[in-house]
Amino acid sequence: VQHEELSLPLYFGWFLLPAVQEKIRCTSMDFLKTLDTLEAFKKHLIDFTGKAEKEVDLEQYYKANGTLHCTTKFCNYGKVEGSKEYAQNPAVRSANGSVFELSLTALFVTPRTAGARVSLTEEQLLLWPADAEKEVESAVTAAASLPRGSRAHITLGCAEGTEPVQTGVDLLQILALQKEGQQGEPLEMELGSLIYYGEGRWMLTLREPIAVPACFSSFYA
């Protein structure tokens, strides 16, 4: 047991199986390519560039970082509060190495991050830390009191200089705006309906959720 205490990982999460990594990256690239060419998106380009006339190539804008995964608990090798308790949770221990089916229900971008929303099942919520949403509480998200698991996502890419932890924050902000009813006309696209939430925030809710097999495990850098 003592040995285990010393070996807390950087984080726990669901790791997409190799066969679906490529598929999701393609779906993501297709989405970015389509978004890039939309008149509605071009109208708000300044959100991304800061300058009216500048162009942006979304496919180059976000940098991919490693294996696609959905973080459950960020532990930072035990430096984060609740890491040890999380690692010792019987549900977490018994899930280690098991394959789950994650449901991706939306794709979103902001000037900082690109991600996929993951809608967790009751069984998957057993592996979700109780305080994950509260950690990023801001005036916006607090007012919305979003349900547990709302932060679940896969980071698809980050803009230069942005850390991946931002993706979940961006997602929670979009969901809070959504809950407040702050949204324009949805744009119907092949994959689903696209809504602009201001300040460069776009979310495409998928008509058909994408099911992806993912292995629950811990990650040590």
The C-alpha atoms of residue 209 and residue 207 are separated, in whole angstroms, by 6
Q: Counting contacts by CB under 6 A, is residue 202 touching ligand 2AM?
A: no
Among 150, 167, 173, 218, which residue sits at the site for ligand 2AM (rule: CB under 6 A)?
Answer: 167
The nearer residue to ligand 2AM, 27 or 155, going by C-beta atoms, is 155
Whether residue 140 contacts residue 182, with contact meaning beta carbons closer than 8 Å, is answered with no
Task: Give the N- to C-terminal CA distance of the chain in Å, as an integer.
Answer: 22
**How far, in Å, are 1, 57, 164, 196 from residue 49 at the CA level?**
52, 10, 20, 17
Does residue 3 have an active-site annotation?
Answer: no
Among 71, 83, 150, 173, which residue sits at the site for ligand 2AM (rule: CB under 6 A)?
Answer: 71
Q: Counting contacts by CB under 6 A, is residue 74 touching ligand 2AM?
A: yes
The nearer residue to ligand 2AM, 132 or 176, going by C-beta atoms, is 132
Which tokens belong to 44? 């708000």
Q: Which stretch binds ligand 2AM (CB under 6 A): 14-22, 39-47, 50-58, 159-167?
A: 159-167
Q: Counting contacts by CB under 6 A, is residue 28 touching ligand 2AM?
A: no
Q: Counting contacts by CB under 6 A, is residue 149 touching ligand 2AM?
A: no
Does residue 69 have an active-site annotation?
Answer: yes
The angle formed by the CA atoms of residues 85, 89 and 90, to the nearest 5 degrees, is 160
Q: What is the rounded radius of gyration, in angstroms, for the C-alpha atoms of the chain?
A: 18
Say which DSSP state 31 is in. H
Q: Counting contacts by CB under 6 A, is residue 192 touching ligand 2AM?
A: no
Which tokens belong to 159? 């803009």
Residues forming the active site = 69, 153
Q: Under the rule (CB under 6 A), what is the footprint of ligand 2AM?
A: 10-11, 71, 74, 155, 164-165, 167-168
